[in-house]
Structure 1
Amino acid sequence: MSMHTPSGGTGDEPEVMMDINTTPLIDVMLVLLIMLIITIPIQMHAVKMNLPVGTPPPAAPPPVVQIDIDAAGAVRWDGTKLDSRRDLERHMANVAARAEQPELHLQPDKLAPYGAVAEVLAAAQREGATKIGVVGDESDAQ
């Protein structure tokens, strides 16, 4: 906020400036801020935990089931060709019923019909198989 008023006198007088000088105010605020930062004690939060001692047991890799879909849409379960949708659902139900579900690695051919891939994913969802991943071919990526 400033106000500039013209002088009513001769041209020899300097014009009156009615601006607030904020430089001292800023200097005081910076000094107060620095003092506040210096005087605040450093907070040290410590959480006491009982950590296990020794080497952890080796983790066994989870079992893996390979599901391949070729260009014609045929589904292979660990290399064995499945004849019908009912076989696929039976295999998915067996996987979902296990206490520790194996990982399902779905690897469709790049020319495989989308309907075949969607059918496998839908069967996994219907039967309750939760550990499924689509394996891609990185050699075709650009």
Structure 2
Amino acid sequence: MAMSVGGGGEDAPMSDINTTPLVDVMLVLLIIFLITVPVVIQTVKLELPKVQFEPTITKPENVALSVTAEGGQCKVFWGMTPVTSKELLDKAVKKLQDEIKKQGGINAAGLELPEVHIRGDVNTPYRCIGGTIFTMQMAGFVKVGFISEPPAGSATVRL
């Protein structure tokens, strides 16, 4: 605490700012924030999965689809052949039925159903890829995977 003694007389205005109340308020706010911040921040401990690129082993019975959007229209390619939504569903149902028959029927031991591998262009809207997934699930395919490009600088092993 400071006090002005003597000096310029009684009529001279005091030009010093009393900072003591300001410091008191700031210390009280600091203590309040130090107590409340740890209470407000709630964290949940998670162990996130480690992402690594695993090369896809393509089996001949798997279905490879490519999805693009040209001029606002969704285009789906089965291999290199463009197909409409109806053709995609019909072709997928036939492919699945043929594969089940080839393996000995629906009740065959060790039945391995083919997978769908979808390559989606970066600029393709979600509705195009989502529609393709929905169509393949309607056809009866259980496993649907996405083919992506590995991150730059990662090492891949070609078999």
Q: Scaled by the length of structure 2, what TM-score is found?
A: 0.44
Bigger RCO of structures 1 and 2 (CA < 8 A, at least 6 apart): 2
The structure with the larger Rg is 1
Q: Scaled by the length of structure 1, what TM-score is found?
A: 0.49
